[in-house]
């Protein structure tokens, strides 16, 4: 469904303003490449927060608490 919506919006953009559609088509891969470092940092921060959470809940788990 997401792909269909994307294709529909791309076709609508080509019909309404084709120069803008060409600019988007050229700039999309460049923006994707620029976003890779931020995605890596986001994954690292998410892993660090999961580690801190596990570390903070370790005493409760050792005492037998099983959260649902």
Q: What is the spatial distance between Cα 31 and Cα 22, in angstroms, rounded to a whole number? A: 14
User: What's the full length of the chain, in residues?
Assistant: 68
21 to each of 6, 15, 29, 32, 34, how far by Cα in Å?
Answer: 13, 9, 14, 17, 20
pLDDT in tens, the chain (68 residues): 889 998 998 899 899 998 988 998 899 999 999 999 999 999 999 999 999 999 999 998 899 887 66
From first CA to last CA, the distance across the chain in angstroms is 34
Determine the pLDDT at residue 68.
64
Q: Is the whole model's pTM more than 0.75, yes or no?
A: no
Closest Cα partner for 47 from 59, 58, 39? Answer: 39
């Amino acid at each position: 469904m997401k792909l269909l919506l994307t294709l529909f919006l791309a076709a609508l953009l080509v019909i309404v303003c084709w120069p803008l559609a060409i600019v988007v088509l050229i700039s999309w891969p460049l923006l994707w490449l620029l976003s890779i470092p931020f995605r890596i940092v986001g994954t690292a921060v998410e892993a660090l927060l999961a580690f801190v959470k596990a570390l903070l809940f370790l005493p409760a788990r050792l005492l037998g608490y099983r959260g649902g």
